[in-house]
Amino acid sequence: MNTGVWVALGGALGAVLRYLLDWLPLGVFPWDTLLVNTLGCLAIGWVAGRTAVDGPRPLPEQARQFLMTGVCGGFTTFSVFSLESVALLQAGAVLPALGYMLATVVLAVLAAGGGLALGRR
C-alpha cells in the first residue's frame, strides 16, 4: 500500500477519535478542543522522537506518516480552535477567548516538546 493510503487511513482513525471526544459534557468553554490539541501535540512529539531513524524504536516512513500525519493530523483540530476563538470573541468573552488562545498555543508547544523528550528515552 502506498503512503497516501496509509495517511488517509490514519486520518480517518484520528477523525473518529476526535469525534468521540466531542461527546464529553465539558460545558460552554471549548475544553474538548484544548484537550484534543494538547494530547495530539504530545502524541506527535512522542511518535516523532520514539520512531525517528535515530530514535529508540525506528519505524518505516509509511508507519510514521500513518501515525503522525494521519492519526495525529486527523485527531487535532486547528480549524475548530480558530472558529471557537472567533465565537468567544463575537460573544463578548474577550478574556476567555484570549486565555483559550494562549493556553492552546502554550500547552501545544509544551506537549510537543515533552512528547519528543519522552519518545527519545
Q: Please state, in angstroms and rounded to a whole number, the distance separating the CA atoms of residues 15 and 72.
A: 9
Q: Please state, in angstroms and rounded to a whole number, the distance separating the CA atoms of residues 15 and 9.
A: 10
Q: Is 55 annotated as a binding residue?
A: no
Q: Is 10 annotated as a binding residue?
A: no
Query: How big is the CA angle at 77 (ends 33 and 96), to the nearest 5 degrees?
Result: 40
Which residues does the annotation place in the binding site for Na(+)? 73, 76
Which residues does the annotation place in the binding site? 73, 76
